[in-house]
Amino acid sequence: MMAGHSCPTCGRALPKPKVRTADPAVNLKDLTTAELYAYYKRTALIEDLRFLLRVRMSPDLRARIKQTLSAKPTAADTRLMFTLWRIERAAEERDETEELIQIAS
């Protein structure tokens, strides 16, 4: 058994990661309301993370989000990425505010 496919603690086999394929282009105009709702529900977490990639952030956080996108992201993953971005952004704003205070003094 390969070391990458077994639990380092107990040694049991871990499932192989699923390879995601891109969804084919969907014509949203042709979907019924129920199909449209199901489509948005299925793709919401991925689209939220793709949206987050558009904003300014550190290269480390960007790489982490891309890594999360390569697997099937969960709601907890999405919340964590947004929280990490908010923390990072708040630190940047605090640093910018401190610089302005020092300049004004």
Q: Is residue 3 one of the residues assigned to a domain? A: no
Number of domains in the chain: 1
Mean per-residue pLDDT for 42-54?
91
59-93 pLDDT, tens digit per residue, is 999 999 999 999 889 999 999 999 999 999 998 88
Q: How far is CA 79 from CA 37, 56, 65, in A?
A: 21, 17, 11
What is the pLDDT, as a whole number, of residue 23?
Answer: 62
Q: Is residue 20 part of a domain?
A: no
Residue scoring higher pLDDT (14 or 56): 56
- 11 φ/ψ sector (left φ>0, alpha ψ -120 to 50, else beta): left
The answer as to whether 11 is a domain residue is no
Residue 6 in domain? no
Contact, 30 vs 60, CB < 8 A? Answer: no
CB under 8 Å to 89, separation ≥6 — which residues? 57
Q: Bridge partners of 13?
A: 6
pTM summary value: 0.61
| Residue 98 covered by a domain | yes
